[in-house]
């Protein structure tokens, strides 16, 4: 303001070098030609190719005993989550905007949630089968592919629901 009093610059501005005025804050973003972007893009492309080749292999040998024993339905769900995680790399490097930022938030959490839910459900299924095998020869409940998919999508829907972030952030309490 004058030689004795200062005034804060607005939120989107910063002071000039001699502190006599305000100037717009420069926007610094990751450029596609930067090494910090080229390496992750290269690794993401490799991951997408690898994930796609696994999906193609699973589809090609869909009815073989080894693919059926691996829980092919949950494997497809897990591969979808992994594919989304690799795809996010391109959104992270893209120029920020309302749509790009919305997709970043949605797809990053969704990709991780899909992957973790599928792995948790597969692990739980195997654990329950072995634990039930110690007790009796009858198979445990809810180990069919359909019920496994329902369990997985219930876990995903809890995370994606509007209450999901609130529960995670505030552990059931209303968090700001």
Tens digits of per-residue pLDDT, 37-94? 999 999 999 999 999 999 999 999 998 988 888 888 999 999 999 999 999 999 999 9
**pLDDT value of position 8:** 87
Rg, the chain, Cα only: 24
DSSP label at residue 138 = S
Q: Kindly state the average pLDDT of the residues 153-174.
A: 66
Among candidate residues 148, 152, 145, 61, the one with its CA nearest the CA of residue 114: 152
pLDDT at 164: 54
The answer to whether residues 40 and 89 touch, using CB atoms and an 8 Å cutoff, is: yes
Length of the chain: 176
What's the CA gap between 168 and 171, in Å, rounded?
Answer: 5
Q: Output the pLDDT for position 163.
A: 59
What is the DSSP-derived secondary structure letter of residue 9? P
Per-residue pLDDT, averaged over 2-13, amounts to 81
Mean pLDDT, range 134-151, rounded to an integer: 84
N-terminal to C-terminal alpha carbon distance within the chain:
35
Chain mean pLDDT for the chain: 85
Asked if 103 and 134 count as a contact pair (C-beta separation under 8 A), the reply is no
Exposure of 19 by Cβ count < 10 A (0-12 exposed, 13-18 middle, 19+ buried)?
A: exposed
Q: Kindly list the domain boundaries of the chain, sorted by start residue.
A: 35-163
How far is the C-alpha of 94 from the C-alpha of 62, rounded, in Å? 36
pLDDT score of 137: 78
Average pLDDT rounded to a whole number, residues 122-145? 84
Report residue 173 as tokens. 């309490």
pLDDT confidence of residue 136: 79
């Amino acid at each position: 303001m004058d030689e004795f009093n200062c005034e804060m610059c607005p939120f989107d501005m910063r002071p000039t070098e001699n502190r006599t005025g305000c100037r717009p804050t420069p926007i610094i973003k990751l450029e596609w030609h930067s090494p910090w972007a080229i390496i992750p893009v290269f690794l993401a492309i490799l991951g997408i190719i690898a994930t796609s080749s696994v999906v193609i292999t699973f589809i090609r040998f869909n009815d073989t005993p080894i693919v059926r024993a691996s829980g092919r339905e949950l494997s497809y769900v897990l591969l979808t989550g992994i594919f989304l995680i690799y795809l996010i790399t391109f959104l992270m490097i893209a120029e920020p905007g309302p749509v790009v930022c919305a997709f970043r938030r949605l797809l990053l959490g969704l990709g991780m949630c899909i992957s973790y839910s599928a792995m948790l459900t597969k692990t739980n299924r195997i654990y329950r089968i072995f634990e039930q095998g110690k007790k009796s020869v009858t198979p445990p409940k809810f180990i069919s592919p359909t019920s496994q998919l329902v369990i997985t999508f219930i876990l995903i829907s809890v995370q994606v629901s509007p209450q999901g972030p609130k529960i995670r952030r505030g552990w059931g309490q209303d968090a700001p």
